[in-house]
């Protein structure tokens, strides 16, 4: 088989499907053949295909190029993520892609056995990517974030500084306010108190529910506050025993 191609672009201009014969000339294959800009190549058989990439020998035989030779000659361009291994095009490893800046890891990612995976929570905490709400949060053996109740902190003797004790007292206060707000929102508590004061200024009329509503609210709020009174006392005692 014969082929005429452009020397610069390597574009095939003409094929001639006959077996090689020494007397066949370039113009037999392509009448407009120009030796300055074109070249002729041949393979032995009439149907023998040309290699994907080849050079033309002095006798015009098509000589196959390895992929490395094709790349070096500019006939083949690899993608940035590709490389040649044993004359095969393969994908570069993630490690290679990282080294060449072709991919980037997010802060919470790492490379393990050339696989991109998330760092453990413990690793992310150590690197400052995740901040635990200490002393209430901690990492368990399963690399999960768990929560200490204030009672557990007292039981496990983890209140070891006045700062931690203050955090616990603040958290108890917020829990208390939250529990009260679930039953009496700030607006509703204010309304009942205002109604009670108006009831007093109205000379305390009998058969009026404003007083009872206010007193019921006070009793319920006091009951909620009593729930954590003992725990608050324990924390205060621990705080007092700690050095400033």
Average pLDDT of 197-221? Answer: 92
Average pLDDT, the chain: 94
Q: Are 92 and 98 in contact (CB under 8 A)?
A: no
pLDDT, position 155: 94
Please, which pLDDT band fits residue 207 given cuts at 50, 70 and 90?
Answer: confident
| Pairing mode of beta strands 137-139, 115-118 | unpaired
CA distances in angstroms from 67 to 8, 71, 215, listed in the order given: 19, 6, 91
> Rounded to an integer, what distance in angstroms lies between the CA atom of residue 229 and that of residue 191?
27
> Rounded to an integer, what distance in angstroms lies between the CA atom of residue 96 and that of residue 211?
78
Average pLDDT of 229-234? Answer: 94
Structure tokens at 203: 């000379």
Q: Which of 48, 57, 53 is nearest to 68 (CA)?
A: 53
pLDDT per residue over 77-126, tens digit each? 999 999 999 999 999 999 999 999 999 999 999 999 999 999 999 999 99
Please, which pLDDT band fits residue 243 given cuts at 50, 70 and 90?
Answer: confident
pLDDT, position 56: 96
Average pLDDT of 63-67? Answer: 97
Q: Is 84 helix (H, G, I), strand (E, B) or coil?
A: strand
pLDDT per residue over 124-155, tens digit each? 999 999 999 999 999 999 999 999 999 999 99
Return the ∠ at Cα 125 (arms to 141 and 95), rounded to 5°.
95
pLDDT at 244 over 90: no
């Amino acid at each position: 088989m014969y082929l005429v191609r452009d020397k610069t672009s390597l574009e095939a201009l003409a094929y001639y499907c006959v077996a090689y014969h020494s007397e066949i000339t370039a113009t037999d294959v392509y009448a407009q053949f120009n030796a300055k800009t074109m070249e002729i190549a041949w393979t032995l058989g009439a149907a023998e295909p040309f290699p994907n990439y080849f050079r033309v020998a002095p006798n015009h035989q098509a000589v196959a190029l390895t992929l490395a030779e094709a790349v070096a000659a500019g006939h083949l361009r690899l993608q940035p993520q590709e490389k040649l291994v044993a004359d095969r095009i393969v994908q570069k490893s993630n490690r290679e892609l990282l080294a060449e800046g072709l991919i980037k890891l997010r802060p919470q990612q790492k490379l393990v056995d050339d696989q991109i995976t998330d760092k453990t929570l413990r690793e992310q905490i150590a690197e400052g990517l995740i901040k635990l709400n200490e002393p209430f949060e901690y990492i368990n053996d399963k690399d999960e974030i768990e929560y200490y109740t204030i009672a557990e902190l007292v039981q496990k003797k983890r209140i070891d500084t006045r700062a931690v004790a203050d955090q616990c007292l603040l958290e108890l206060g917020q829990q208390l306010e939250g529990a009260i707000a679930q039953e009496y929102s700030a607006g509703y508590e204010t309304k009942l108190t205002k109604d009670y004061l108006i009831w007093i200024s109205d000379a305390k009329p009998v058969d009026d529910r404003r007083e009872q509503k206010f007193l019921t609210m006070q009793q319920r709020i006091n009951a909620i506050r009593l729930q954590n009174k003992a725990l608050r006392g324990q924390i205060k005692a621990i705080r007092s025993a700690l050095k400033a």
